Structure 1
Amino acid sequence: MSDTVSVVIGGTSGIGKAISLRFAAEGGIVVVSGRSVARGEAVADEIAQRGARGKFMSCDVNDTNSVADLLSGVTRDFGTPTILVNSGGILQSGTRVLDQDLEENQRLWETNYNGTLRACQLFGRAMKEARKGAILNIGSLASFAPLSLPAYTAGKTAILSLTQMLAAELGPFGVRVNGVAPGYTLSDGLKDKIAQGLRNPEEIKATTALRAFVEPEHVAEAAWFLCSEKAASITGVMLPVDAGWLVQAPYGSYMRGNPIRD
């Protein structure tokens, strides 16, 4: 990946930051993007301290012009981007569909789905013209399961479909489109909630087959693989990185009604 130009939208913290650092370790140029200048420049500085090449460029995925300016800036400074990672997004607290606040629904949909769509359209056109590239979208367990997060789940399910459609449309032009679906990831946000007593770490781990949290670096490894030439024949995939939550949930649920007796 030494000749790649990677753009990580939402690369200023959490999973996006881990992906930025992982890609930088493989060489090439990593453009860290997001709304926070302070956090973005800190990630770019960390990349530089590791002897790699990184630069921060601001971007607000809610603004089409801002995403277009990001693409223009990257192209001007480094040439056509070869990798795009859409890691920008916002989370939601649990609620019921009948209680879903419509303003919150609009806010999450605009950022999580429409923000991803904007970047895929603009960067996808540039990659199509160049006839090469890789796009990676960040899905979720909610892309596969009906979690009690009505606005978030709907958007992440749509991102799965978007990833599959784009893979079919861009494949003939040498552009691959995949995604990763992280499970309970031990990010700074989750660590804070655990420290405040708002989340029970043992109960969370018990919902996974591996009885473990996902680390941001685990997601970054999967992201690197899917964007690298090692995955040259893989497109249209949403890869769960979930410590086995998706298999444990139905298996454990069935076992409660039909226990295995030794």
Structure 2
Amino acid sequence: MKGKVAVITGAASGIGRATAELFAVHGAVIVAADTDIDGANETLEQIKKLGEKGMALQVDISNEEQVRDMIEQTISRFGQLDFACNNAGIEGEQALTPDCSVENWNRVIDINLRGTWFCMKYEIPKMIQYGGAIVNISSIAGLIGFPGIPAYTSSKHGINGLTKTAALEYAGKGIRVNAICPGAIHTPMIDRFAGENTEDRQQLIAQHPMGRLGRAGEVAEAAVWLCSEKASFITGQTLAVDGGFTVR
């Protein structure tokens, strides 16, 4: 991937940071985007320590203009776009379907689903000339139902459908589009979800047949592999990285 350019959203921490760093390990130039610009800059510093270059951008993916500017700045500075990992997202508030507020529904859908669509809307045209690969970070909540998080579950099911549609549209044009559906990964999001309650965390772990939470680096490995030539005949797939959660 030496000399290739990768855009990573949600790159300030967790899966996004691990993915940005792993792309850099393989020689890619990194655009680290996040609403948390301090965190994105910290990621960029790690990339520079690996001997690679890139830039950090403050981007709210639910804002179409900011997403368009992110891609335009990428092309203006680096001249190309080869890979994208559309990872940014939020979990929203927990509530049963009738109790989910309109505000929570709109916010989660706007960021997770509409934001992922905005990213692809502006990434794909820049990849047409030379080809490329996109990985959307979905969730096991995009494969099965989860009570208490209707907006989040709907947004992730939507991402999987969007992934398959774009994959079909561009399969003959040199662009591959896949999604990763992580289980519970040890990230700040899971820390917020499970909180300090040890019992809740243990119950979450127990739902994974492998008996542990996943690591951000394990999802990053899958994302980089899906963008590599080793996965050159794979498109439109939803890959569960979930320790066996969805097998049962």
The aligned counterpart of 2:135 is: 136
The aligned counterpart of 1:49 is: 49
AA matched with 2:182: P
The aligned counterpart of 2:104 is: 104
Measured against aligned partners, the alpha-carbon deviations of 1:119-169 in whole angstroms (never above 9, x if no partner) come to: 1011111112x1401111011011111112100001100100000000000
AA matched with 1:109: I
Separation in structure 1 between the aligned mates of residue 22 and residue 210 of structure 2, nearest angstrom = 24
AA matched with 1:98: P
In structure 2, the residue corresponding to 1:178 is in which secondary structure?
strand
Query: In the alignment, is residue 154 of structure 1 matched against residue 154 of structure 2?
Result: yes
Structure 2 residues not aligned, in runs of 5+: none
Q: CA deviation at 1:53?
A: 2.0
Alignment of 1:1-262 (within 5 A): 1-128=1-128, 130-148=129-147, 149-191=149-191, 196-197=196-197, 200-248=200-248
Separation in structure 2 between the aligned mates of residue 198 and residue 105 of structure 1, nearest angstrom = 29
Separation in structure 1 between the aligned mates of residue 214 and residue 199 of structure 2, nearest angstrom = 15
Q: CA deviation at 1:239?
A: 0.4
In structure 2, the residue corresponding to 1:200 is in which secondary structure?
helix
Taking structure 2 as the reference length, what is the TM-score of the superposition? Answer: 0.95
Q: CA deviation at 1:54?
A: 2.8
Q: CA deviation at 1:92?
A: 2.6
Structure 1 residues not aligned, in runs of 5+: 249-262
AA matched with 1:38: D
In structure 1, the residue corresponding to 2:62 is in which secondary structure?
coil
Alignment: residue pair count? 247
**Cα 1:51/1:214, change in 2 over 3 Å:** same
In structure 2, the residue corresponding to 1:67 is in which secondary structure?
helix
Q: CA deviation at 1:188?
A: 2.9
Q: CA deviation at 1:198?
A: 6.4
Measured against aligned partners, the alpha-carbon deviations of 1:170-202 in whole angstroms (never above 9, x if no partner) come to: 111100000100101111343466562265332
In structure 2, the residue corresponding to 1:181 is in which secondary structure?
strand
Give the number of the structure whose alpha-carbon radius of gyration is greater.
1
Taking structure 1 as the reference length, what is the TM-score of the superposition? Answer: 0.90
Separation in structure 1 between the aligned mates of residue 189 and residue 164 of structure 2, nearest angstrom = 30
Counterpart contact for 2:4–2:81, Cα < 8 Å: yes
Separation in structure 1 between the aligned mates of residue 68 and residue 204 of structure 2, nearest angstrom = 40
Identity %: 30
In structure 2, the residue corresponding to 1:146 is in which secondary structure?
coil
